[in-house]
């Protein structure tokens, strides 16, 4: 059998990177749509309820339901190596990192295997302090530099995954 020409082979290969957005409170959805379009990547916009998305066949809207953590559960059950998750939810980030996904907060901060344990511990400590009546101040407000840091982190993550997939050995035929 003759080999498939390179230009056709690239076109026929399945897309192996998907971006999942924990969308209920995500301030960088429009930026994600633009970056995904540039890289021709599919996006799953996951929220508890209906959320507006651009009319684009590569962007799918998921209304996961109004149950506690329904959107988080939907994302965590589907992600794996080669996927990118955008969330500021630390427990969801932990689940996705454990599943092998790359996870980025909307401010550009990556969650990794090396950092997620401490990040989760700090989050739990702050939750305990707030529940006991301590005033902790809450998160910093979202700033323009956060948007810029996010765009840079997302683009770098996509390129790193693409390089890793391009250099990975091809699966052996059965």
| pLDDT digit string, tens, across residues 85-137 | 999 888 999 999 999 999 999 999 999 877 766 666 665 666 666 677 767 66
Determine the 3-state secondary structure of 63 from DSSP: strand
Q: Which are the contacts of 129, defined by CB distance < 8 A and separation ≥ 6? A: 136
Say which residue, 60 or 171, is predicted with more confidence.
60
pLDDT of residue 130: 65
Backbone conformation region of residue 58, classed left if phi is above 0, alpha if psi is from -120 to 50, else beta: alpha
Given a cut of 70, whether residue 159 has pLDDT beyond it is yes
How high is the pLDDT of residue 7?
43
Predicted pLDDT of residue 114: 72
- Count other C-beta atoms under 10 Å from residue 152's C-beta: 11
Q: Quick one: average pLDDT of 145-174?
A: 88
For the segment 5-50, what is each residue's pLDDT rounded down to a tens digit?
Answer: 444 344 434 458 999 999 988 999 999 999 999 999 999 999 988 8
The yes-or-no verdict on residue 1 having pLDDT over 70 is no
E strand or H helix at 103 = strand 102-104
d(CA 97, CA 91): 10
Q: Give this prediction's pTM.
A: 0.79
pLDDT score at 72: 94
Position 118 scores a pLDDT of: 64
* Cβ atoms of residues 77 and 49 within 8 Å: no
Q: What does the pLDDT read at residue 127?
A: 65
Structural domains of the chain, with CATH:
16-136+157-163 (3.40.50)
Helices 113-131 and 90-98 pack at an angle, to 10 degrees, of: 150
Q: How many CA atoms lie within 13 A of 40 on its CB side?
A: 7
**Whether residue 75 has pLDDT greater than 60:** yes
Residue-wise DSSP of 125-151:
HHHHHHHTT-----PPPP-HHHHHHHH
């Amino acid at each position: 059998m003759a080999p498939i020409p390179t230009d056709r082979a690239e076109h026929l290969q399945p897309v192996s990177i998907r971006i999942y957005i924990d969308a209920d409170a995500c301030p960088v959805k429009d930026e994600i749509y633009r970056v995904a379009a540039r890289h021709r990547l599919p996006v799953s916009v996951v929220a508890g309820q209906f959320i507006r998305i651009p009319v684009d066949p590569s962007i799918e809207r998921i209304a996961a339901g109004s149950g506690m953590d329904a959107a988080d559960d939907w994302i965590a059950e589907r992600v794996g190596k080669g996927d990118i998750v955008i969330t500021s939810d630390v427990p969801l980030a932990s689940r996705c990192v454990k599943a092998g996904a790359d996870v980025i907060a909307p401010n550009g901060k990556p969650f990794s295997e090396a950092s997620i344990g401490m990040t989760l511990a700090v989050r739990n400590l702050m939750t305990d302090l707030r529940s006991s009546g301590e005033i902790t101040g809450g998160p910093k407000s979202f700033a323009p530099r956060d948007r810029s840091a996010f765009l840079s982190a997302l683009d770098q993550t996509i390129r790193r995954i693409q390089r890793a997939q391009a250099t990975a050995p091809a699966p052996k035929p059965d």
